[in-house]
Chain A
């Protein structure tokens, strides 16, 4: 059974950095495109970043240059390095597996809360 488990969320000051992890089990992470999707409190879902199986990465405009998505194939883990954090980055961050050839968010983690506040 495919499972995703996020960790690394927490409280960080504006301008600070945080790295989220997403441990995958039940499938080989490097065989799939993976994404991070976030949800600010009381708001809707927002796609943040993706990494494809070939290694190409893509970002939401507001995250480009500040966020970096990567994976460690040996650990079967996805990461999101977030730098220069802003109050508007406060959200629950979900990692999700992208279905092959379907571009759907197939499996979701339970989410990690990131709060950017002084």
Chain B
């Protein structure tokens, strides 16, 4: 069974930079998994931030960026703001009509 890994939590200072990663229990994440990233505040539906590894969704500030770092996909927030404090999820397309989400990362800005 494929497991997608994320850091359970991160803390960043206002104005700071944080990188959340998205890995595989077995193997490397590459662009062929079409990694995408979602932001979710409590009680709300997720919002798409990044797709196809590096492409920002419409309306997403350019302080959010996606990349491949080593063998993982990564979401970097540069210049963190208070309203960035929420949950972040990555998801990988497994190429078989199925997707697997990471466990999510709870970001604290303080």
Contacts and interface: CB of A to CB of B under 8 A. Distances in A.
A32 interface: no
30 contacts: A35-B99, A44-B89, A44-B101, A44-B102, A45-B38, A45-B40, A45-B46, A45-B89, A46-B101, A50-B97, A50-B98, A50-B99, A94-B45, A99-B51, A102-B34, A102-B51, A102-B52, A102-B55, A103-B36, A104-B34, A104-B36, A104-B48, A105-B38, A105-B46, A105-B48, A106-B48, A108-B45, A108-B46, A108-B47, A109-B45
Given A103-B34, A104-B52, 4 more contacts: A35-B99, A56-B97, A58-B97, A94-B46
Nearest to A35: B99
B99 A103 contact: yes
Interface string A78-113: 000000000000000010000100111110111100
B25 interface: no
Contacts, number: 64
Given A103-B34, A103-B93, A105-B91, A47 B101 contact: yes
B23 interface: no
A106 B48 CA distance: 7
Contact of B98 (A45, A47, A99): A47
Interface residues of B, number: 26
Interface of A: 35, 37, 44-47, 50, 52, 56-58, 60-61, 94, 99, 102-106, 108-111
B45 A47 contact: no
A110 B38 CA distance: 15
Contacts of B87: 44
B96 interface: yes
Closest 3 CB pairs of A and B: A58-B97, A104-B51, A103-B93
A111 B43 CA distance: 10
